[in-house]
Amino acid sequence: MRKMIVFALARIRELSVEEADDGVDALRRIAQEKFDIIITDINMPILDGLKLVKRLRADEVYRDVPIVIITTEGAAEDRQRALALGANAYIAKPIQAPQVLAIVRETLGLEA
């Protein structure tokens, strides 16, 4: 699924996409470089996506950076918790590439 998302996002010329293997790897990369948007899953090894969102929202640099969660967790409680922690969008799998592209473009204010 991650490869499909990366492939889809490559269609947006204004984006440069980087992947992380898990939540801890994401935090390492985020500490080294500033990103304009973060896309994460809830279910990741070592540090899950909700904890990642919580840590990013506590970081002054990432307090306002858009975060999109794409996950298999489709329950209303999961969605509410993610949005309450500070996620900007929540997409339950299965997903289609056009849906991801539309949300990323809308979130970043990019033309279609």
Q: How far apart are CA 64 and CA 82, in angstroms?
A: 15
Counting as low any pLDDT under 50, the low residues of the chain are: none
- CATH number of residue 68's parent domain: 3.40.50.2300
Range of the domain at 51: 2-108
Predicted model pTM: 0.92
For residue 5, which of 110, 81, 98 has the smallest C-alpha distance? 98
Quote the number of domains for the chain. 1
**Inter-helix orientation angle 2-9/97-108, to 10°:** 50
Task: Report the pLDDT value the prediction gives residue 73, as an integer from 0 to 100.
Answer: 81
Task: Report the pLDDT value the prediction gives residue 48, as an integer from 0 to 100.
Answer: 94
Q: How far apart are CA 54 and CA 29, in angstroms?
A: 16
In contact, 45 and 22? CB cutoff 8 Å: yes
Q: How far apart are CA 79 and CA 56, in angstroms?
A: 18
In contact, 34 and 57? CB cutoff 8 Å: no
Task: Report the pLDDT value the prediction gives residue 31, as an integer from 0 to 100.
Answer: 94
